[in-house]
Amino acid sequence: MNFDPRFSGRKFASVGTRPIRPDGVDKVTGRARYGADFNMAGQLVGRVLRSPHAHAKIRKIDTSKAEALAGVKAVITAADLPDLTDGDAAMYDILDNCMARTKALYDGHAVAAVAAIDAHTARQALKLIVVDYEVLPHVTDVDEAMQHHAPLINDAIFTEGLEEKPVKASNVTKRSQFGHGDVHQGFGHADFIVERSFKTEQTHQGYIEPHACVANVSTDGTADLWVCTQGHFVYRQHCAQLLGMEASKLRVTSSEIGGGFGGKTHVWAEPVALALSRKAGRPVKLVMTRDEVFRASGPTSATSIDVKIGARKDGTITAAEATLRYTSGPYAGTWAEIGAMTAFACYRLDNVKTVGFEVLVNRPKTAAYRAPSAPMAAFAVESTVDELAKELGMDPVEFRIRNAAQEGTRSSYGPVYGPIGIGPTLEAVKNHAHMKAPLKANQGRGMACGFWFNFGGQTCTDLNIGMDGSVSLAVGTVDVGGSRASLSLVAAEELGIAYEQVKAIVADTSSLGYNDMTDGSRGTFSSSMATISAARNAIKILRERAAQMWDISVDDVVWEQGHAVAKGEKHGNLGKLSLKEIAAQSGKTGGPIAGHSELVADGAGVSFATHICDVEVDPETGSTRVIRYTVVQDAGKAVHPTYVEGQYQGGAAQGIGWALNEEYIYGKDGRLQNAGFLDYRIPVCSDLPMIDTQILEIPNPNHPYGVRGVGETSIVPPLAAIANAVSNAAGVRMTHIPMSPPRILAAIEAEREG
Amino acid sequence: MVEVTLWGALGQVAGGRSKVEVEAKDIRELFRKLAEQYPGLEPWIDRGIAVAIDGTIYRDTWSKELPPGAEIFLLPRLAGG
């Protein structure tokens, strides 16, 4: 396929406007169907039995009494999900996480499941399953898990990435290193060095809609799965592989999604629902409770990070170094690796080194959470940068501007940057009215920068033109933030028609070619690229049909503002043919008109943001209130500015919760103590200020419209921006997230006591 | 011949090298030659590696050409949220 993705600098008619999203009315009226809103005739209720232990050997599971209970149609254990992964370690981990095999590895790990005629019977059946556990020592803290005497979670793990191959098993699955130059030499040239250690606690994405699916396996081996997910094609691949099915025989339809943020990029209960349906011979609906979502779906890593940065008196950073330790739950992950790549990505550094350690703990398998791993790294680095600026006597914004990465800078993770927006976001913050507003007693202001890579990936789109001139756009990227509206704008732009003429849908896995997950901020970036390509293919056909209708050469037909136009003096009397007029005659000129596109959207273009935050800290209680918040971020090109602003505000809101309140709290027994929204408190409206936004547009050279991903970067700076604000308000450096009232109070009292 | 920079963990399985030279015209050939020269890299390649060519990161495009003199980095194939 010939498609030129380069930025063209064109002027836009539709892109950049703010029409109402097509799914909005259904969502606010309750008509939209989410994961749990789908039902099938004869469906059973699925329920999962979960380990009450953080770490335990499973000696035996007796399901006989549950199977004998009237109304129970299927009971499964790991034996019903045999290992078909053929040595694929990553898939085996997914399988083991869906249903524990030999050991329960965390509080909430699934060990058995039932399908019954109703929820009451299913719950009764779970109580009748007898599991003989041998409880093992456990470890949930990242630093403790790295100690030599720590309980070993997987004795087949030998640390990768070490210079010498280890001879002893370890809870550290991998060591990763990035950087360039010579940090030792760089620190030698520094006049000031700040070195600090930080911790962040584990958080959950906190999506409002729990995981839910309906699975229906037929006797002929075909199956349907209706599910709430960020990537139904990936779910199909994983479920089919785990159940030994051909992917083409499993049709997956994605429901509307009530939040994902990375947490719905992994399969959890879906293979279990399919296995139950296969055994019962009936559809099975499986909906996680909130308790299950917290205990057994993927939260982010808890971390322990050391940062050291040195600078000359003139404010130039001479060296920067970080050691990052991230939990990955009981399975191997790449979370510290990402933290190590993003930590110093905002800065122009001659000498930089980061080392990441992936650490196993008896907590649920870690999942992505919006720019996974970057917020914690940014918290540690941006806190240290702020302290260093203070040591130097420099304004923190000026210090960052002096050291900001630019086009041509070698990134801390290796490649050289193209055009980037960190400098412009800092200049915008420097000149923002927020930075000049006065503060009162006990109030403090902080700012911080953040970076995210953004991805593209495999993308497929169909654009079908109806005989009435309306356009159906079928995309394979799940709409998690208004992308159907944005993609309709792109189709309208390219075809030169009104937004209202385009209807975008998310097609199921049997209706469209493979699409990667909606993650990595790729949804609008990659599907807009495929939509542009599909529209251009459709325009080629529209021109051919117009040429037929006029009986002239197609080379004499151009497409302008939604019309075929005959060019040249010899066709001067032909006027124009609208898309609608051409579509009306399509049956006579060759049949339906459509444009298709299959591509790999590479060159997503990195993204930067700078946030400003004002807080008020009560010195008597340690309670913090965010009183003003501003997000400045580069979007490349904001296709639908309202939804770009929504992404910015959403990232800031989640970051405020992460910074101030949210954390997984484990008891000494290794069990999660706060698996619910009463005790794990995400911010509600009354906890949040109005969040101001400023969109910058530094075009991505690798997209025709200049689009970059926007979904993730906005959660990177808040932890640090708020930590800097709280530290300025409280007069003491905060190094542990969340900065809950007891932690702030303890820090203030420790400072008072010297 | 192109010079390829490896990230830290990958360098360890390529005999401790941070840079290697490979005769390859595109990403597919680069991966094949790397696996031949450094068998320890093969499982990493199977798991997924991204390739940065002059600053632009490619995750899946095996046919992408490696222009002479281009700066090439192998990077982890990252996950997003």
Residue B8, pLDDT score: 81
Chain A residues with CB under 8 Å of B40 CB are none
Chain A residues with CB under 8 Å of B64 CB are 602
Angle, alpha carbons A142-A143-A146 (nearest 5°): 90
Residue A395, pLDDT score: 98
**Closest chain A CA to residue B58:** A602
A600 touches chain B (CB under 8 A): yes
**DSSP reduced 3-state for B74:** strand
Q: Read off the tokens for A527.
A: 């599907």
Residue A569, pLDDT score: 82
Closest to A413 (Cβ–Cβ): which among B54, B61, B75?
A: B75
What is the C-alpha separation between A593 and A606, in angstroms, rounded? 36
* CB proximity under 8 Å: A 654-713 to B: 702, 712
Q: How far off is chain A from B40, nearest CA to CA, in Å?
A: 11
ipTM over 0.90: yes
C-beta atoms of B58 and A265 within 8 A: no
Ordered strands of the A250-254 beta sheet: A72-76, A110-116, A44-50, A284-287, A212-217, A223-227, A250-254
A714 touches chain B (CB under 8 A): no
Residue B68, pLDDT score: 87
C-beta atoms of A520 and B55 within 8 A: no
* Type of residue numbered A685: C
The DSSP result for A181-243, as a single string, is: S-HHHHHHT-SEEEEEEEEE-------SSPPEEEEEE-TTS-EEEEE--S-HHHHHHHHHHHH
Band the pLDDT of A417: cuts 50, 70, 90. Answer: very high
Chosen for mutation from A265, A337, A352, A478 (greatest number of chain B CBs closer than 10 Å) is A337
Number of inter-chain CB pairs under 8 A, A vs B: 112
C-beta atoms of B60 and A372 within 8 A: no
* CB proximity under 8 Å: A 463-522 to B: 517, 519-522
C-beta atoms of A413 and B71 within 8 A: no
Chain B residues with CB under 8 Å of A480 CB are none
A181 touches chain B (CB under 8 A): no
Residue A40, pLDDT score: 97
Residue A754, pLDDT score: 81
Per-residue pLDDT, averaged over A416-430, amounts to: 97
A161 touches chain B (CB under 8 A): yes
Per-residue pLDDT, averaged over A714-742, amounts to: 98
Helix (H) or strand (E) holding A559: strand A557-560
C-beta atoms of A177 and B7 within 8 A: yes
Q: How far is CA A690 from CA A46, A437, A626, A632, A657, in A?
A: 42, 15, 10, 14, 15
What is the C-alpha separation between A751 and A417, in angstroms, rounded? 42
| % of chain A residues with pLDDT over 90 | 97
Q: Which residue has the higher pLDDT, A182 or B61?
A: A182
* Type of residue numbered A526: S
Q: How far off is chain A from B75, nearest CA to CA, in Å?
A: 8
Does the reported pTM lie above 0.95? Answer: yes
Chosen for mutation from A237, A454, A455 (greatest number of chain B CBs closer than 10 Å) is A455
Q: How far off is chain B from A640, nearest CA to CA, in Å?
A: 21
B76 touches chain A (CB under 8 A): yes
Residue B1, pLDDT score: 87
Q: What is the pLDDT of residues A29-82, one digit of tens each?
A: 999 999 999 999 999 999 999 999 999 999 999 999 999 999 999 999 999 999
Q: What is the pLDDT of residues A96-152, one digit of tens each?
A: 999 999 999 999 999 999 999 999 999 999 999 999 999 999 999 999 999 999 999
Residue A2, pLDDT score: 78
Residue A1 has pLDDT above 60, yes or no: no
Give the N- to C-terminal CA distance of chain A in Å, as an integer: 68
Residue A568, pLDDT score: 83
Q: Are A255 and A235 within 8 A, CB to CB?
A: no
Mean pLDDT (chain A) is: 97
B58 touches chain A (CB under 8 A): yes
Q: What is the pLDDT of residues B8-61, one digit of tens each?
A: 888 888 888 889 999 999 999 999 999 999 998 998 898 889 999 999 999 878
C-beta atoms of A174 and B9 within 8 A: yes
Per-residue pLDDT, averaged over A682-695, amounts to: 96
Q: What is the pLDDT of residues A320-373, one digit of tens each?
A: 999 999 999 999 999 999 999 999 999 999 999 999 999 999 999 999 999 999
Per-residue pLDDT, averaged over A507-531, amounts to: 97
Q: What is the pLDDT of residues A205-238, one digit of tens each?
A: 999 999 999 999 999 999 999 999 999 999 999 9
Chain A residues with CB under 8 Å of B16 CB are 163
DSSP conformation class of A705: T
